[in-house]
Amino acid sequence: DGGITQSPKYLFRKEGQNVTLSCEQNLNHDAMYWYRQDPGQGLRLIYYSQIVNDFQKGDIAEGYSVSREKKESFPLTVTSAQKNPTAFYLCASRAQGGTEAFFGQGTRLTVV
C-alpha cells in the first residue's frame, strides 16, 4: 500500500526532553511537510523540504529541527527549547508541481 506513515500515534514527553517524530512515505514524492495543529486551530507550517538534503523553515520553526537524508523520510525533533509542544503533529507529502498533498495519520504529543 502506498502512503504516509507517522509514528508513534501518541507520544508523551517529559519536561526538558527531546523527542523525535517519524514520517515515512513510499509515494516517491519529492516534497514533505510538517505541520502543527492546536485544538480548534488550523495547520501551521513548521518545516518543509523540497528535495533530499535540503529543507526550509516554516512559520513556527523555533524549537524544532528536521533532517532529510532520504527521499522517503522526514523526521521531526521537538527539542527542549519548544516551550509549548503539546499539539497534534501532521506530516504530509506531495509531488512537485503544485499538486495536492497527502497526510499521515498524525502524532499526538503531550508533555507530562
Partner 1 sequence: QKEVEQNSGPLSVPEGAIASLNCTYSDRGSQSFFWYRQYSGKSPELIMSIYSNGDKEDGRFTAQLNKASQYVSLLIRDSQPSDSATYLCAVNPGGATNKLIFGTGTLLAVQP
Question: Which of 22, 50, 65, 80 forms a contact with partner 1 (CB under 8 A)?
Answer: 50
Residue 103, interface with partner 1 (CB under 8 A)? yes
**Which of the stretches 19-27, 60-68, 70-78, 90-98 binds partner 1 when contact is defined by CB under 8 A?**
90-98
C-alpha 9/C-alpha 81 separation (Å) is: 22
Residue 46, interface with partner 1 (CB under 8 A)? no
Q: How far is CA 24 from CA 3, 43, 100, 102, in A?
A: 8, 20, 17, 12
Residue 34, interface with partner 1 (CB under 8 A)? no
Nearer to partner 1, 35 or 64 (CB): 35
Q: Which of 94, 85, 110 is nearest to 31 (CA)?
A: 94
Cβ 51 vs Cβ 40: under 8 Å: no
Residue 98, interface with partner 1 (CB under 8 A)? yes
